[in-house]
Amino acid sequence: MPTNPTDPQSRLLTEEYEILHEVARVLHSSQGLKSMLEDVLGVLTGFNELKVEKKAGIFLADPEKKVLNLYCMLGKFTDEFLEKEKVVPYGDCLCGRVAESGQLLMSESCFTDARHERKYEGMQAHGHYIVPLKTGEKFLGVMFLYTNTHPAWYQHSQEVLLSIGGLVANAIENSLIEEELKNYRNHLEELVAERTANLKQVNTTLEKEVAERTHAEHELTIIREQLRNLGNHLQNIREEEKTRIAREVHDELGQSLTALKMDLVCLKEELPSNQPEPQERIQSMSGLIDSTITSVQRISTELRPQILDIFGLCEAIAWQAKEYEKRTNLQFDLNCAHVPLDNKELTTDLFRIFQETLTNVVRHAEADRVKVRFRQQDNKFILEIEDNGKGMPPGKIEDSQSLGLIGIRERVLFLGGEVEFLGEAGKGTKVVVKVPLES
């Protein structure tokens, strides 16, 4: 049976997408940063088209000292390498040059490339991919991969590696922020414990005790606000990354698949009708492309529905309701007054609150009908979501394990609004969100 020249290209595009998807999945796992980055190196070195060895590593940048610190590796390296490559100054050898330029670097051989200044006893000839890890203009480190000497460079290697480098850099930045937050929390806990002990020791007068407690409460209020701001910052980073990935998946991969489908249609029309086997082959390939396009659209929409940015909150909620009606037994009663929302962050937060509420309804409420209302009143936007389920116990609202409710409350508080969870056993639950509208 004759083979079609576009079939390998289709498989290659699918493999690229699978590698990017697997890297993104690993980076969103809950494991520690070092284990997560080692798993990413394992995934990346498994991409056959790059033709890399099972040897790779990541340096993290120290911008103050202008050096790269060896953080994690995959494969076997000599003791001499591990000792001498602990720290690499900016501008030194291949990795240091990438730290200065911020550009991806490819080297065909460590023995003939004058930029490869560091050599060790017993070193075997090899080539390199050196990938900058950047978020925007912020440089966080480099990732190095080993190849055979004088490799046949994969034509999309730069785009794939730079995309993965951006994902890895975002994960590193988020991890550093979370580590800073963890250290800050630990410091605050130590501070609170120390001050509590001091209060017990110096509790000689009621006035001093009241003054100390008032001071501590004020500091805790500031701390809560700082933590809320940091939490919102992390949410914004995740939302921006979802939007970017959704756009790249939809635009770049979707366009490539569409072009491939058009080529197949043209090829099918050019083939003689008396050759059924090529016709059947093309028809099968066309069906596979259609299925892949559908998957791309679904994944892109789940990451960031374009309808939210194009048509606004009301249409996005209506679309999401229809999706839930397809997958569950829920029926929706929508009454969405036209309230102009020019604030993209506010629109996104309200949509995510709606999604989180529906998730709780599906998981816990045992409901079959949901009413959704939103309107403007006294320069406030009011969103009401009510189900006819089994209701919510009063203690559940304040339960520290109710992470969905906590997430909704924190989003609303950051917007300067208020939220109520109203429910009785057997009478359903109602969520009322009120947020101020900007002038």
Q: Report the CATH number that the domain containing residue 94 is assigned in CATH.
A: 3.30.450.40
- The span from the CA of 40 to the CA of 73, in Å, is 11
pLDDT score of 3: 42
Q: Is residue 1 very low, low, confident or very high in pLDDT (cuts 50, 70, 90)?
A: very low
Do 367 and 390 share a domain, yes or no?
yes
Domain closes at, from 169, 187, 203: 169
Which tops the pLDDT comparison, 231 or 50? 50
Q: Residue 143 belongs to what domain range? A: 31-169
Residues sharing a CB contact under 8 Å with residue 34, sequence separation 6 or more, in sequence order? 71, 72
Do 137 and 189 share a domain, yes or no?
no
Do 100 and 214 share a domain, yes or no?
no
The secondary structure of residue 363, as a DSSP letter, is I
pLDDT score of 303: 62
Helices and strands per DSSP (H, E), number in the chain: 13, 11
Which tops the pLDDT comparison, 402 or 57? 57
Do 229 and 110 share a domain, yes or no?
no
Burial degree of 199 (CB within 10 A; 0-12, 13-18, 19+): middle
Q: Note whether residue 7 is domain-resident.
A: no
pLDDT, tens digit (0-9, with 9 covering 90-100), for 201-228: 777 777 777 777 776 777 776 666 666 5
**Placement of tokens 């679309």 in the chain:** 319
- The span from the CA of 393 to the CA of 107, in Å, is 64
Average pLDDT, the chain: 80
CB 43 within 8 A of CB 26: yes
Q: Note whether residue 8 is domain-resident.
A: no
Query: For residue 398, is pLDDT > 80?
Result: no
Q: Note whether residue 75 is domain-resident.
A: yes
Do 408 and 426 share a domain, yes or no?
yes
pLDDT score of 49: 77
Q: Note whether residue 249 is domain-resident.
A: yes
Query: For residue 122, is pLDDT > 90?
Result: no
pLDDT score of 301: 58
Of 7, 104, 12, 22, whose CA–CA distance to 49 is shortest?
12
- The span from the CA of 350 to the CA of 424, in Å, is 25
Do 42 and 160 share a domain, yes or no?
yes
- The span from the CA of 113 to the CA of 81, in Å, is 18
CB atoms within 10 A of CB 2: 8
- Residue 197's Cβ-side half-sphere holds a number of Cα atoms within 13 Å equal to 5
pTM above 0.75, yes or no: no
Average pLDDT over residues 2-30: 73
pLDDT score of 2: 45
Q: Note whether residue 25 is domain-resident.
A: no
- The span from the CA of 49 to the CA of 269, in Å, is 32
Which residue type sits at 173?
Answer: E
Range of lowest pLDDT (59-68, 231-240, 267-276, 399-408): 231-240
Looking only at the bridges linking them, the beta strands covering 429-436 and 138-147 are unpaired
Domain closes at, from 152, 169, 186: 169
Return the top range by mean pLDDT from 1-15, 128-142, 200-214, 346-360.
128-142
Do 193 and 226 share a domain, yes or no?
yes
The total number of residues shown for the chain amounts to 439
Domain closes at, from 169, 195, 217: 169
Cα–Cα distances in Å, from 156 out to 120, 134, 261, 381?
31, 19, 20, 47
Range of lowest pLDDT (195-204, 221-230, 254-263): 221-230
Average pLDDT over residues 87-92: 93
Do 161 and 48 share a domain, yes or no?
yes
Which tops the pLDDT comparison, 236 or 114? 114
Q: Is residue 245 very low, low, confident or very high in pLDDT (cuts 50, 70, 90)?
A: low
Q: Note whether residue 362 is domain-resident.
A: yes
Q: Is residue 8 very low, low, confident or very high in pLDDT (cuts 50, 70, 90)?
A: low
Backbone torsions φ then ψ of 51, nearest 5 degrees: 55, 50
Cα–Cα distances in Å, from 169 out to 34, 90, 420?
13, 18, 38
Do 237 and 332 share a domain, yes or no?
no
Do 206 and 327 share a domain, yes or no?
no
Average pLDDT over residues 8-25: 78
Strands (E), 244-289: none
Residues sharing a CB contact under 8 Å with residue 395, sequence separation 6 or more, in sequence order? none
pLDDT score of 304: 61
Query: For residue 40, is pLDDT > 80?
Result: yes
pLDDT, tens digit (0-9, with 9 covering 90-100), for 152-179: 666 677 788 888 899 899 988 988 888 8
Q: Is residue 439 very low, low, confident or very high in pLDDT (cuts 50, 70, 90)?
A: very low
Do 49 and 142 share a domain, yes or no?
yes
Residues sharing a CB contact under 8 Å with residue 19, sequence separation 6 or more, in sequence order? 43, 44, 46, 47, 160, 164
Query: For residue 250, is pLDDT > 70?
Result: no
**Placement of tokens 């939220």 in the chain:** 419
Question: CATH number for the domain including 426?
Answer: 3.30.565.10
pLDDT score of 193: 86
pLDDT score of 65: 94
Q: Is residue 274 very low, low, confident or very high in pLDDT (cuts 50, 70, 90)?
A: confident
Q: Note whether residue 40 is domain-resident.
A: yes
pLDDT score of 408: 83
Q: Is residue 100 very low, low, confident or very high in pLDDT (cuts 50, 70, 90)?
A: very high
Average pLDDT over residues 84-107: 91
Structural domain count of the chain: 3
Do 321 and 289 share a domain, yes or no?
no
Average pLDDT over residues 289-295: 73
